[in-house]
Amino acid sequence: ARSYLDINCAHCHIDGGSADTSGLILDYLESNKINLGIYKKPVATGRASNNLRYSIVPGKPDESILLYRMQSLDPGIMMPESGRFLEHTEAVELINKWIKNL
């Protein structure tokens, strides 16, 4: 799961990336749990948070903003923001299992 996030998300969610103001750092080498999204409150998601409280809630993928945004097809919510028109079901399943096991 961490490798998937590094390859598909860290190009923006990294220091100096276009999403570095989000506070979500998804580089494979990141070790700070809050930077990885674990119990990190959203700072720039607006309606894209779906009123969820944290980027990742260990053991509770349905309460995690990260998974919600990966599942969405709404252009103002979905992650990644561009380059897709379908839900990447294998990735959603991978991240869902990862969050469940945190």
**How far, in Å, are 5, 65, 74, 76, 83 from residue 99 at the CA level?**
12, 11, 22, 23, 24
Q: Where are the domains of the chain?
A: 2-100
User: pTM for this structure?
Assistant: 0.90
For tokens 């860290």, what's the residue? 10
- List for the chain the helix, strand, coil content (%; round to 5): 35, 5, 60
Position 44 scores a pLDDT of: 80
How far is Cα 18 from Cα 10, in angstroms, rounded to an integer?
Answer: 10
Averaged pLDDT score across all residues of the chain: 92
Write the pLDDT tens digit of every residue in 51-101. Answer: 999 999 999 999 999 999 999 999 889 998 777 788 889 999 999 999 999
DSSP class of 42: P
Q: Is the dihedral of CA 67, 82, 50, 15 positive or negative?
A: positive
